[in-house]
A and B are shown apart, each in its own frame.
Chain A
Amino acid sequence: EVQLVESGGGLVQPGGSLRLSCAVSGFTFRTYDMHWVRQTTGRGLEWVSGIGTAGDTYYADSVKGRFTISREDAENSFYLQMNSLRAGDTAVYYCARVGCDGDCYDYWGQGVLVAVSS
């Protein structure tokens, strides 16, 4: 059974940092691209960042230069280092597996809440 489990969320002050983790099981992690998608309260989904099997990385314009995505295949995990956090980054963050030859998200985690507030 494919499982993705996020951790590392919480309350942080503006300008602060957090590191999200996504631990996966049930599939050969090193052969899949992995992404982060967020959802603000009562709003829609927003793609945040992605990492390919070769370590190539992609970022939404709203987080480029502040967030860093990484992966550790030996640990079946990938991460999102979030720096210089802003109130607008407050959201539920989902990790997701990329399917459909790199286009869609076929499995999602349950989500973790990041709240940026003083």
Chain B
Amino acid sequence: SYVLTQPPSVSVAPGQTARITCGGNNIGSKSVHWYQQRPGQAPVLVVYDDSDRPSGIPERFSGSNSGNTATLTISRVEAGDEADYYCQVWDSSSDHWVFGGGTKLTVL
């Protein structure tokens, strides 16, 4: 089955840029989606189809996808961005929807 690999944690100072990676075999050929989950809350879609933002999501959130790595970039990080972030794809070969293991973003 298809596997997505994320770093367990990323730390960044306020105002800096956070980059969270998501690795997968030829992930560049798939559409990657990213979710933010704050403690005790349901996940929220922050980037879809590699780099598009749902309405209401700040422009500070952006994404890219190429080769074997997709990246969620959060610019001008704020304290409120502290959360767990998950990448997700649909694996057409198995008709399974797959999540990465999640990355905890800590704002120092």
Q: Do these two chains interact?
A: yes
Among B33, B97, B101, chain A packs the most CB atoms within 10 A around the CB of B97
- The reply on B48 being an interface residue by CB < 8 A is yes
Chain A interface bracket (under 10, 10 to 19, 20 to 34, 35 or more): 20 to 34
**Could you say which of A13-21, A23-31, A104-112 contacts chain B?**
A104-112
A6 closest partner in B (C-beta): B42
Interface of B is mostly: strand
**How many Å lie between the Cα of A111 and that of B37 in the bound state?**
12
A residues near B (Cβ < 8 Å) are 35, 37, 44-47, 50, 58, 60-61, 94, 99-100, 102-106, 108-111
> Other CB < 8 Å A-B pairs besides A44-B86, A103-B33, 16 of them?
A37-B99, A44-B101, A45-B35, A45-B99, A46-B99, A50-B97, A60-B96, A99-B45, A102-B90, A103-B48, A103-B49, A103-B89, A103-B90, A105-B43, A106-B48, A111-B42
